[in-house]
Amino acid sequence: MKQNIQKVIDKAVRKHELTREEIIVLLSCEFFHKNSLFVAANRVREKYLGDAVHLRGLIEFSNYCRRNCSYCGLQCANKKLKRYRMSMKEIYQAALGAYALGYRTIVLQSGEDFYYDADKIADLVRRIKKLGLAVTLSCGVRSFEEYRLWREAGADRYLLKHETADPALYQTLHPDSSFSERLEALIHLRRLGYQVGSGCIVGLPGQTLESLADDLLFLKALDVEMAGIGPFIPHPDTPLMSFPQGSAEMVLKMVAVLRLLLPLAHLPATTALATVGNDFRAQALRCGANVIMPNVTPRKYRQLYAIYPHKAGVKDTPVKSRQQIVEMITALGRKIATDQGHSPKEKFCQAVS
Ligand code: SAH
């Protein structure tokens, strides 16, 4: 068995391909092999992407949401949450501030909030692009036409996590949507030439190793440019409040295996991972991750974007968040990327100037 695991790792390093069974072997491996897996993933990251860590400034511009995802504190059934919407001016100011701090990509994220219609978002994208920032949108499922308008306005990337690739589990967690709807949105984004980001939650109630392996195979099949993987964190005002938190160890293994499968993908060390333990973000950077998304949302709104409780860095100013992250990256012997950090896949290098 021991030799087998090493063989599976070697195959993944060589071919960037694994079967479902092989992925399950890696996700189940214990201490000794876990280290070999992490070392291999770190090497692949170094070989294909170098030492640069890309920082993306995250602006959480609205916590209104029409959905009822059962793990998420923003679900519309949560009447305890004070809702907010940032004005166009506030969002633009936050982007300006992020630029001044050195960010070259901003991520505009929100609940599914139709108050921001297609034109509002398109205007915002146009104005922010003029600053010389790359723009990632993460506003949930919208129509093909809306995605098209935003892409034409200059949006570079779109982040829409698939959450779980197990359609039955997806259905139980998302009473008002379906896996096929989410998949269709991802396919629309792909057709429109976005750099596509997706990803999953680890440790959801009812999730199995098989379904985690399917998450990785899904990301591989979609050949995503970015993928965020974070642990499930129970929120006290949701139906999943009494389920256990997802395992950070399993998240790290998922990141490592995904790095072997997708050597060119941008993989963040997620905020959810930092929330379950301070050191896990650094660990993720050492087993395949190469991106961090520090929060640049104005302080008065930050606490209210409560997808899960006790979010890391929620009380820090944008200056302090960045400082701490820069210190951590430097301590690891890595450096901060100074460019916009587009996907290194050739098609995007050519398509986006
Ligand atoms: N409306 C957008 C953004 C959703 S919030 C969209 O639909 O894409 C961003 C991410 O937070 C989600 O994709 C989900 O993966 C994560 N998330 C929400 N609640 C969570 C929880 N309790 N634990 C861990 N991750 C959670």
Cβ of 63 closer than 6 Å to ligand 1, yes or no, is no
Cβ of 235 closer than 6 Å to ligand 1, yes or no, is yes
If you take atom 13 of ligand 1, which residue's CA is the nearest one? 161
The pLDDT value given to residue 352: 46
Query: How many angstroms separate the alpha carbon of residue 307 from the centre of ligand 1?
Result: 6
The pLDDT value given to residue 239: 97
Query: How many angstroms separate the alpha carbon of residue 118 from the centre of ligand 1?
Result: 22
If you take atom 24 of ligand 1, which residue's CA is the nearest one? 232
For residue 113, the tally of other CB atoms under 10 A from its CB is 17
Of 111, 109, 127, residue with least CA distance to 119: 127
Amino acid at 145: E
CATH number at residue 220: 3.20.20.70
The pLDDT value given to residue 154: 98
Residue 61 lies in a domain: yes
Of 71, 96, 36, 136, residue with least CA distance to 296: 96
Cβ atoms of 21 and 264 closer than 8 Å: no
Query: How many angstroms separate the alpha carbon of residue 162 from the centre of ligand 1?
Result: 10
- Which one of 62, 72, 107 would you pick to mutate in the ligand 1 pocket, going by the greatest count of ligand atoms within 8 A of its CB? 72
Residue 118 lies in a domain: yes
Residue 32 lies in a domain: yes
Of 292, 269, 210, 240, residue with least CA distance to 25: 210
Q: Report the run of H or E that residue 210 belongs to, with start and end.
A: helix 209-222
The pLDDT value given to residue 2: 58
Cβ of 203 closer than 6 Å to ligand 1, yes or no, is no
Domain span including residue 323: 2-340
If you take atom 12 of ligand 1, which residue's CA is the nearest one? 161
Query: How many angstroms separate the alpha carbon of residue 82 from the centre of ligand 1?
Result: 18
- For the chain, the domain total comes to 1
Task: Kindly list the distances between the CA atom of residue 311 and the CA atoms of 74, 88, 206, in Å, as whole numbers in the listed order.
Answer: 13, 25, 24
* pTM of the entire predicted model: 0.97
DSSP 232-297: ----TTSTTTTSPPPPHHHHHHHHHHHHHH-TT-B-B--HHHHHH-TTHHHHHHTTT--EE--B-S
Which residue carries 């021991």 as its tokens? 2
- Which one of 107, 163, 307 would you pick to mutate in the ligand 1 pocket, going by the greatest count of ligand atoms within 8 A of its CB? 307
Residue 161 lies in a domain: yes
Query: How many angstroms separate the alpha carbon of residue 333 from the centre of ligand 1?
Result: 31
Which residue carries 């009822």 as its tokens? 68
**CA angle 191–159–26, rounded 5-degree value:** 100
Cβ of 202 closer than 6 Å to ligand 1, yes or no, is no
- Number of residues assigned to the chain: 353
Cβ of 307 closer than 6 Å to ligand 1, yes or no, is yes
Nearest atom in ligand 1 to 73's CA: 19
Classified as helix, coil or strand, 42 is helix
Cβ of 305 closer than 6 Å to ligand 1, yes or no, is no
The first and second tokens of residue 346, run together, are 């050739």
Nearest atom in ligand 1 to 111's CA: 1
The pLDDT value given to residue 76: 97
Query: How many angstroms separate the alpha carbon of residue 338 from the centre of ligand 1?
Result: 28
If you take atom 25 of ligand 1, which residue's CA is the nearest one? 232
Residue 142 lies in a domain: yes
The pLDDT value given to residue 353: 40
HSE-CB at 329 with a 13 A cutoff on CA atoms is 22
The pLDDT value given to residue 252: 98
Classified as helix, coil or strand, 229 is strand
Nearest atom in ligand 1 to 238's CA: 22
Residue 352 lies in a domain: no
Task: Judge residue 237's burial from the number of C-beta atoms within 10 Å of its C-beta, 0-12 exposed, 13-18 middle, 19 or more buried.
Answer: middle
Cβ of 146 closer than 6 Å to ligand 1, yes or no, is no
Cβ of 215 closer than 6 Å to ligand 1, yes or no, is no
Residue 351 lies in a domain: no
Burial 137-162 (b: 16+ CB within 10 A, else e): bbbbbbeeebbbbbbebbbbbbbbbb
pLDDT in tens, the chain (353 residues): 556 999 999 999 999 999 999 999 999 999 888 999 999 999 999 999 999 999 999 999 999 999 999 999 999 999 999 999 999 999 999 999 999 999 999 999 999 999 999 999 999 999 999 999 999 999 999 999 999 999 999 999 999 999 999 999 999 999 999 999 999 999 999 999 999 999 999 999 999 999 999 999 999 999 999 999 999 999 999 999 999 999 999 999 999 999 999 999 999 999 999 999 989 999 999 999 999 999 999 999 999 999 999 998 888 889 998 999 999 999 999 999 999 999 998 766 544 44
